C-alpha cells in the first residue's frame, strides 16, 4: 500500500472517508488534526474485526509529536487469514 495520500483516498475496497477528510484539510496524516482522534477514527480503530488494538492511533500520536516511528499493524481479520493459510 502506498498510503492514503498517495492513493488520494481511493483504497482497493473503495473511497475512504477518513483519508478524504485528511486530504481535504490539507494534512499529511490525521495526527496533524486538532480533532484527532475524531469519532471516525475511534470507530475504525475500535472495530472488533478491522481495528488494530490501538497501533494506528499510537502511530498517529507519535507522528503528531514529530516522532516518525511505525508500530506494526495487525488486526483479527489478518490473524484469521494467516491461520487459514497455515492450515492449507
Residue 71 falls inside a structural domain: yes
- Rounded mean pLDDT of 5-17? 85
Query: Is 33 part of a structural domain of the chain?
Result: yes
Q: What domain range includes position 78?
A: 10-87
- Residue 5 belongs to a domain: no
pLDDT, the chain, mean: 79
In a domain, 1, yes or no: no
Block residue for cell numbers 478491522: 50
Question: SS3 for the chain, per residue?
Answer: CCCCCCCCCEECCEECHHHHHHHHCCCCCHHHCCCCCCHHHHHHHCCCCCCCCCHHHHHHHHHHCCCCCCCCCCCHHHHHHHHHHHHC
pTM summary value: 0.64
Pairwise CA distance, residues 76 & 87, whole Å: 17
Is 19 a member of any domain?
yes
User: 74: which 3 cell numbers?
Assistant: 495487525
Query: What integer pLDDT is reported at residue 60 of this predicted model?
Result: 87
Domain count, the chain: 1
Residue 48 belongs to a domain: yes
> For residue 31, is it within any domain?
yes
How confident is the model over 66-85, as pLDDT tens digits?
887 766 665 555 555 555 55
4 is a domain residue = no
First to last CA, the chain: 26
Amino acid at each position: 500500500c502506498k498510503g492514503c495520500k498517495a492513493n488520494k483516498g481511493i483504497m482497493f475496497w473503495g473511497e475512504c472517508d477518513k483519508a478524504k477528510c485528511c486530504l481535504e484539510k490539507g494534512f499529511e496524516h490525521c495526527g496533524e488534526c486538532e480533532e484527532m482522534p475524531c469519532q471516525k477514527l475511534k470507530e475504525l480503530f475500535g472495530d472488533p474485526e478491522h481495528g488494530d488494538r490501538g497501533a494506528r492511533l499510537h502511530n498517529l500520536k507519535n507522528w503528531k509529536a514529530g516522532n516518525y516511528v511505525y508500530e506494526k499493524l495487525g488486526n483479527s481479520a489478518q490473524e484469521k487469514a494467516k491461520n487459514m493459510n497455515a492450515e492449507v
